[in-house]
Amino acid sequence: MSNKCANCCGAVSQDKAVYGYDNKILLMGNPNVGKSVVFSAMTGVHVMSANYAGTTVGYTHANMVLGDQTYHLIDVPGTYSLQASSQAEAVAVEFMHSGAKGVICVLDATNLTRNLNLAFEVLSFGIPVVFALNLNDVAKRKGIVVDVDKLSQLLGAPVIPTVAVNGTGLFQLKVALQAQMEKSASPISAPATNQECWEQAAQMVSQCVSHTQQAPKLIDRLGDAMIKSWPGLPLAILLMLVSLVLIVFGGKALRVVAFIPMVSLITGFFSSFIGGLGLPTLLENILIGEYGIFIIGFEWPFGLILPYVALFYLVFTFLEDCGILPRMAVLFDNVMRKMGVQGGSFISLMMGFGCAVPAIIGTRSATTQKERIIITSMVCFAVPCISQSGAMITLLASQSIWLLLAMFALAFSIIFTVGYVTGKLLRGTVDPIVIEIPNLLLPEKKAYGKKFWVRMKGFFVEAEGPMLLAVVMASVAKESGLLDMAAVWLEPLISGWLGLPEEAVLFLLLGVVRREMAVAPLLALDLTALQLFVGGTVALLYLPCISVFGVIAKEFNTKVAIAIGVGTFVTALFLGGLINQIGLSF
């Protein structure tokens, strides 16, 4: 299987060889119709699914057995047509042209007319196709009745009703695909123009779709209400505030009640165990001293950050799966436009509050390169990932909640400014918002739990290693005297310009590895409110994590990565110092 990305977006394989495999089966379909859920169910390989268009922006492949044959099932990014309008859609088009043994074309039963447009194009390739008429439960909820036999007859291919989230119909889908691949398929010519395509689709739908008379369910009325400024906007703002309160105060409560006592027990055990071994002082200090690996190696990742990460993903996964984020994207389109991007990028920005890596990869669904770079810059400059936010909440709220709110306000004004400035500096255009509003869904319990668990596992795998590396660096730097030397060299910057105590030098050293590590060392210092705010500002803007540089270089090029790196570094030190100088003058 292909590479997995950190927390959110599942696999993002770039292995071009996959296009050449001759036993491919493609999962094609419009965005957000359930292809990734079908893929996970059929292969046992979990990939991220979410209730908005553009979740899958790279592709994943895994083995699927049909009869006595093994095939490569490919989870292709969703596309509305085979004329691609984004980098993600281009992948789908390329796969279709690369040939395949069969295609599972997933259709959204609640949106058949639009879905049939792509179905016609897929049928024109002459590859054996079966159709999964998915989201059948939602269609029923909405009183939509599809005559499956009639649709199958009109399309000239099997149509199997499915509810991918609970596995309904997937076995029958496999059986139908196997049978279809045993026959030879001939291309069916697609309507020549867009107009004809829509007309033919509408005609087909009129022949096989009927509606039962029933009042719309509460969830559907809520879904409709949430895209209108009233009551959608106040509801969206309320939801964001509730989420924030849940993460900030819930995280604090979790730390106090469970995580800090648990970590104290563990560090206490290691202190007495290692302390009793009679090791040389230097080694003992490295292991259990002030910055001891067995002390802060538990305190920072588990006592400080983990509770916030867990709560963030509980909340974010819920918002993502119920279909609220695309509604917010529409409501905030005006604000996003002022930042130089369109509302659709709101989702990538939100993802950045979890982790910058999937947020940057997620920009592949943006329609222009300019928009991709603007969002990437915003995320790198001033969207704190949840690990950094967790550390920041502890650092600032310990002094005053107002300090924390002021930091959030500063972050938003920087995000806004970065968007505006990069928008002006870069050539090119940003397209108007075209976003699909999905059905409001109640997340399926098992899928929700699994996704949350995959994200937490991703956090452990991706973040714990570099965090431990930073902890080891801190410990060795302290005990070898390197930290004191660096404090002397950087004294004019740290104390003179930023007004921080010399020991604060550690936050600049560790911040090179990971973003939250630019905050954690400040917790051990006894800082004034101004110093806390200055330290927080520098940490917020300071370099993105090493893994983020890698992703930017891969998604764009090294020049963009260097420009963002230099930009964030210079702005962090300049703005931090400026705030200090202004603060001192009062």
Between 447 and 572, name the residue whose CB sits nearer to Mg ion. 447
Contacts of 457 (CB under 8 A, 6+ apart): none
User: CB of residue 448 vs ligand GTP: minimum separation in angstroms?
Assistant: 9
Q: Does residue 162 bind Mg ion (CB under 5 A)? A: no
CA dihedral for 76, 81, 84, 87, sign (positive or negative): negative
Residue 344 DSSP symbol: G
Stretch that binds Mg ion, among 54-62, 351-359, 415-423, 520-528 (CB under 5 A): 54-62
Instruction: Name which of 285, 58, 37 is nearest 165 in CA terms.
Output: 37
User: CB of residue 237 vs ligand GTP: minimum separation in angstroms?
Assistant: 23
Q: Does residue 571 bind Mg ion (CB under 5 A)? A: no
Task: State residue 93 phi and psi, 5-degree precision.
Answer: -65, -45
What's the chain's Rg over C-alpha atoms? 26
Contact 198/113 with Cβ under 8 angstroms? Answer: yes
Between 77 and 340, name the residue whose CB sits nearer to Mg ion. 77
Using CB under 5 A, pick the residue from 2, 13, 30, 56 that binds Mg ion.
56
Between 136 and 580, name the residue whose CB sits nearer to ligand GTP. 136
User: CB of residue 46 vs ligand GTP: minimum separation in angstroms?
Assistant: 11
Given Mg ion, ligand GTP, none, residue 321, with its beta carbon under 5 to 8 Å by kind, binds ligand GTP
Q: How many helices (H) and strands (E) does the chain have?
A: 29, 8
Which residue is at the shortest CB distance from ligand GTP? 78
User: CB of residue 586 vs Mg ion: minimum separation in angstroms?
Assistant: 53
Task: State residue 159 phi and psi, 5-degree precision.
Answer: -125, 120
Give the Cα separation of 101 and 24 in Å (integer): 6
Between 77 and 301, name the residue whose CB sits nearer to ligand GTP. 77
Between 119 and 498, name the residue whose CB sits nearer to ligand GTP. 119
Contacts of 87 (CB under 8 A, 6+ apart): 57, 364, 365
User: CB of residue 32 vs ligand GTP: minimum separation in angstroms?
Assistant: 4
User: CB of residue 20 vs Mg ion: minimum separation in angstroms?
Assistant: 22
Between 36 and 342, name the residue whose CB sits nearer to Mg ion. 36
Q: What is the DSSP string of 18-50?
A: HHH-SSEEEEEESTTSSHHHHHHHHHS------
Instruction: Name which of 347, 264, 247, 346 is nearest 305 in CA terms.
Output: 247
User: CB of residue 57 vs Mg ion: minimum separation in angstroms?
Assistant: 9
Contacting positions for ligand GTP (CB under 6 A): 29, 31-37, 49-51, 53-56, 77-78, 134-135, 137-138, 163-165, 321, 441, 447
Give the Cα separation of 227 and 435 in Å (integer): 12
Using CB under 5 A, pick the residue from 36, 51, 363, 537 that binds Mg ion.
36
Helix ranges (DSSP H) in 481-519: 482-489, 491, 505-510
Contacts of 125 (CB under 8 A, 6+ apart): 96, 103, 187
Given ligand GTP, Mg ion, none, residue 534, with its beta carbon under 5 to 8 Å by kind, binds none
Q: Does residue 55 bind Mg ion (CB under 5 A)? A: yes
User: CB of residue 423 vs ligand GTP: minimum separation in angstroms?
Assistant: 26
Between 12 and 471, name the residue whose CB sits nearer to ligand GTP. 12
CA dihedral for 56, 58, 59, 60, sign (positive or negative): negative
Instruction: Name which of 171, 183, 51, 28 is nearest 103 in CA terms.
Output: 28
Given ligand GTP, Mg ion, none, residue 110, with its beta carbon under 5 to 8 Å by kind, binds none
Instruction: Name which of 367, 385, 486 is nearest 433 in CA terms.
Output: 367
Residue 131 DSSP symbol: E
Between 148 and 266, name the residue whose CB sits nearer to ligand GTP. 148
Between 7 and 36, name the residue whose CB sits nearer to ligand GTP. 36
User: CB of residue 47 vs ligand GTP: minimum separation in angstroms?
Assistant: 8
Which residues are near Mg ion by CB under 5 A? 36, 55-56
